[in-house]
Amino acid sequence: MLRPHKKRLHHGFAAVAAALCTAAMAAGALTGTAAAAPADSAPATAKAAATQPASGAGTKAAGNKVVGYFTNWGVYQRNYHVKNIETSGSANKLTHINYAFGNVTGGKCAIGDAYADYDKAYTADQSVDGKADTWDNGALRGNFNQLRKLKALHPNLKVIWSFGGWTWSGGFAEAAKNPAAFAQSCYDLVEDKRWADVFDGIDIDWEYPNACGLTCDTSGRTAFTNVMKALRAKFGSSNLVTAAITADASSGGKIDAADYAGAAQYVDWYNPMTYDYFGAWDAKGPTAPHSPLTSYNGIPKAGFNTADTTKKLKGLGIPAGKLLLGVGFYGRGWSGVTQDAPGGTATGAAPGKYEAGIEDYKDLKGRCPATGKVGGTAYAKCGDQWWSYDTPETIGTKMNFKNEQGMGGTFFWELSGDTASGELIKAIN
């Protein structure tokens, strides 16, 4: 899931790498930013009243979690800040924020962007509470301080620090060699006394255990389970431990590559990434919705839809209450398309504001309004461009599915893709 800062890739580009890697699983570590030396860690017991411990296989679905990703690089070109979560009304809907991303390098958790995370100074008009950051000795600034202020306004809101993502998942191969040491490094960073009160747990976004993403992992089927077990042991029941996982429900696909059922006992919940199933990494098409709820006649690949993903994970024995339904607050598109309905040919990726082939919902709703629906999601044909994305209406359909399945809630990628008034998040129930 995505690159740091300005040129950020989404999960679905795994399709390209997977095609290249299938023949030869060649693991490769990525180079990332260096870790800041954390100060003394705060004890986990300080948060005992703030979170719910992981529960057993018979847990009844709570159904009300609303988890939104906030990206640290969004403060640059996107100009999306923690204050926008408040002014859009999104903070009133959220139960949890996933802060993306921390790096994974050298077998350890590390800071992703020191400036954006805890050094950028906000003026009074930019700040959540209308008070400017200070340069006093030891003062916290940046996103972390803004999140602290947001939590003060919303005492029930929890913040989880996500590590990895599409670009930095190569670091998990080294981390899996010594899960206990990795877990200790993550705990030391998340519980650093400078910001321990900001975070309520850790989220792991490993793309993908024992399978191919940007790089190919050969850690073995049990590596993910071992890492999650070590994290739960270190973070204890007073902190949240969650993971974003593959949604590839195809036969022999990425869900089959790792023991997600075995690791489920260690997580509070999973975020199956039920978006980016299809996109313009297949430059010539066929055009297909990137986040279909269900299969449909002509879908390019079996098992690439939310219903099949959910069915497969539940079939492994993972409780529905530990599965959140994933929604993308963006669209994916092609250009050079003549056919209105899905399944058409294309010549390449449609232009996007930040990256070809992808565009935020807030921009697409005006410039390429939806013209049809398929598989429980929307698509749009405008000129020679073909896009797919979710609308408030299709999110409503997905909420009905979530409730029927007894799932634990909803998560989405990511907050800056919504309108200034929070049109999409307000469709989540």
- Residue 388 CA to its chain's centroid (Å): 19
Angle at 237 between CA 235 and CA 241, to 5 degrees: 60
Nearest Cα neighbor of 146 from 136, 157, 135, 132 is: 132
- The tally of CA atoms less than 13 A away on the side-chain side of residue 229 is 13
Token duo for residue 395: 């999110």
Which pLDDT value is given to residue 148? 98
Nearest Cα neighbor of 217 from 24, 35, 32, 33 is: 24
Which pLDDT value is given to residue 21? 43
d(CA 147, CA 150): 5
Which pLDDT value is given to residue 34? 33
Q: Which residues are catalytic?
A: 207
Q: Which residues contact 310 (CB under 8 A, 6 or more apart)?
A: 272, 274, 320, 323, 325, 405, 407
The phi, psi pair for 319, rounded to 5°, reads: -60, 140
Which pLDDT value is given to residue 281? 98
Low-confidence ranges of the chain (pLDDT < 50): 1-62
Any idea where the domains of the chain sit in the sequence?
60-328+394-427
Q: β-pairing, 65-71 with 409-413?
A: parallel
CATH of 60-328+394-427, one of 3.40.50.720, 3.40.1390.10, 3.40.50.2000, 3.20.20.80: 3.20.20.80
Instruction: State pTM to two decimals.
Output: 0.89
**DSSP labels for 198-260?**
T--EEEEE-S-TTSBSSSB--S-TTHHHHHHHHHHHHH-TTSEEEEEE----STTSHHHHS-H
For the segment 59-71, what is each residue's pLDDT rounded down to a tens digit? Answer: 344 489 999 999 9
For the segment 204-253, what is each residue's pLDDT rounded down to a tens digit? Answer: 999 999 999 999 999 999 999 999 999 999 999 999 999 999 999 999 99
Q: β-pairing, 324-328 with 409-413?
A: parallel
